[in-house]
Structure 1
Amino acid sequence: MGSDFSTVKIRKVTSCPICKTMMSHPVSINCGHSYCEACILSYYCNVSPKTGWKMLGCPLCRSPFSLENLRPNKELETIIDMIKGMEEQDRDMVCEEHEEKLNRFCEDDGQLLCWRCYWEDRHKGHTLVGVKDVYQNYKGKLQNTLTKLCELQENHEVQIHLITNQINALKDAIEDRRQTIKSNFKNLQSFLQEEEKFYLWRLENEEKEMLRRLKGSEADLQQTFESAQCQIQELEAKCKGSAQKLLQDVKNTLSRCEAMKLNPLKAEPLKVHTKCNMSELYFDVKTILRRHQVGVILDPNTAHLGLTLSKGGRLVTYKSCSRDLQAGSSAKRFYGLPCVLGCEGFTSGRYYFEVSVENATSWDVGVCLENVQRGFNMKKEPEFGFWTIKMSEEDGLEALTSPPTPPLHLSEKPQVVGVFLDYEAGGVSFYSVTTGSHIFTFPKASFHDTLRPFFQVYQYSPLFLPAINNQGKK
């Protein structure tokens, strides 16, 4: 609260001249002096009946006043409330043992002391200083510590934010991997379902053929059995009849009966030939895919003028071209980007073809509608008739979807890419033939027009279309 002199002066100003204590609800009278409301009222009630006067003199200056002139002194009351609050705080900081003000500090024990604690034996020899003398020093230390703790808290907050981001990134990565696994197994299940139908169809046909042959043999035996039955009845009748009946046409009868022979039944073992190699189906996806493989030949009529096709139409390379690429181009030819289509058109069924990208660092591979845009405004996205994946040195492997999907990560760079089209199911899937693993499947589409193999070729990145592997087809 400041010095003792200031405290005494403030207490004098705020004390009631009548009760000599700090005023309660101070009021001012005509002369300007202030008193406790209760004290001035009590003074007036005690003096006025004795004198009979309605106007009394101020207890300090004797200036006349009446009760009608009393007015609350709000400013003084505010000051008194502030002083009481400060004294209340100071009252809390007193020695519990001696109830004296704590105005000393023991550096050795780190304790606040009053003047009486100061002289006790337990603090002899200790470094004792005034509170005001060490206040700023310890305040600075506390502020420095506070600053360090705030920095530590900020660092922890940053780390918590980083961990939160890592957790969210991990969840996203796990969910992405989960969806990839589900997609891979869904595709495999689709293949297996088709394989199941195929093997059951083969088994059913084999059953029909074997039953047809067995029932044919059964019918022949039944006919022979019935003929022998007739002959037996005829012989039995002759044997029971008279000599004339027995001998009548006896040679012809014997000849016919002796001619009948029982052809021995060939006891061929019944063996079902249709079987399914489950290990092959589960662990060799390439075998399944190659059942639908087609040989793709590049269409020179669609090739960009900067592309060079081999004689057999299986190898394509690109070199920069300074010619006016649009001049003289047919409606079928690409002139915006170095692209080319396969000759084959797909309008139904399931198809699979492979592209060797072993010597290419960048490439686009997939299928597209036959009538896609071929100019500089071409957009390779499904809504514009393209279902392709792209490899580039800058962005790696990605599927050209809209909106874009995250980059595709494989354990190793594919050397041969397989493209599988299921026209009726609306599916376009890509596989790494190198590892036999699934790369990407586009969301289900609805195909109505002709689809053709699509390739975009980059400089120093030739593409090659291998011949069909007949060993993989069945």
Structure 2
Amino acid sequence: MASGTPSKKMREEATCSICLNLMDEPVSITCGHSYCHLCIMGFIKIMSHTEPEEFTCPQCRVPFQMESLRPNKQLGSLIEVIKELDHEMTCEIHGEQLQLFCEDEGQLICWRCERTLQHKGHTTALVEDVCQGYKEKLQNVMTKLRQLEEECVNLMVFTTKQITEWKKNIETRREKIQSDFQNLQRFLYEEEKSCMWKLEKEEEQILKRLRASEASLEQQSCALRNHILKLEEKCQGSAQELLQDVKDTLSKSWAVKLETPEALSLEPHTECNVPELYCDVKKMLRSYQVGVTLDPDTAYHELLLSEDRRQVTHGSPQDNLDASSRRFSAFPCVLGYEGFTSGRHYFEVDVGEGTAWEVGVCLENVQRGMDMKQKPEFGFWAIRLCRKKGYVALTSSPIYLHLTEHPLLMGIFLDYEAGVVSFYNMTTASHIFTFPKASFSDTLRPYFQVFQYSPLFLPPPDE
């Protein structure tokens, strides 16, 4: 009685671990493992992008070089023997030729199998009698798969054109936005960057989806091509090879479907009508204006807040304040009650004729004791007026600002997603300073430091 175990082990030894088929033109590498010549060359080509001179075995990861590849003639001869044995296709149980086909089980069987209890009452026929019928069925499913492959290729071409068109439209829109901003004043520069940032995000998102569709179609095309090649090989083989697992093959082949990519609009959604929206600076900024009031639980003990919590002055110490970890303990500071976690926001501070102050925004969890440092890396984005040094932007290395006109009304604009904090002189509707782009991940609050004889007032949004 023939045993399938030695034959199976022999096939396993002769199987390429890359393509999982019997090796074709087997070659060996330094570690002794063997692969198809085309498979290992394809592997080397992929690996050369990261390791151009030395590669590692796909199985054991032992390093090898291109020069170590050697043809394995002995293994090649063994594979030829295996192929000859495959063509004979004898019953692994009885050792007889597989001349019958069991319709119920969809298997090739021998005359002795037909007489066993396993196949009792089953419909069986000679291989020669049923081969042509199943061959026609396989050819029909191949026709269907070829149609799917053609449709897939056409969709790939269409998607590639979509990517080109999308990038062209994005570039056209980018040039238009840049052109609109060329003749505007200095403060509009940050607004332009914000629009460009949104457009690039939109471009990135749509391109990502289009490229995912392209990759999916390419993968499907490759799978369909491989499936067709296997069916062609099956049809070109012997009758026994054709009928081996033919029902399962047909079932899987007919079940193949083509996943078509989602339809995407190639018209950018990002709009930026510069002439209509931004010719009036005050109107533009105040379209984002929010009402800001002061948070008494954060106020330094020498700060006095008005009843409506819109005005703060530096006075004498107050002994009746509640103890709070949120209160500034070392510097005369106070936060706005409102917090910002997304979107665009604008508020104004009436600094009047004050000679010293700080205004801006800060993270909600900043230090509030002697170790407090008003810099972006410590959560502060603010401008200071000093009695001696004048106006200073509190960047990592302070930047001294030379203003031709002293602002009486300061405007603070925050674009959370874009990471922008800008300051404006609303007396003249002119831009003062914009901090380098940041990346916010926590709540931001309006921030104020109040010195003696320099009270601050927060006008309501409707004034």
Shared fold (TM-score greater than 0.5)?
no
What is the TM-score normalised by the length of structure 1?
A: 0.41
Question: Which of 1 and 2 has higher RCO (CA within 8 Å, sep 6+)?
Answer: 2
Larger radius of gyration: 1
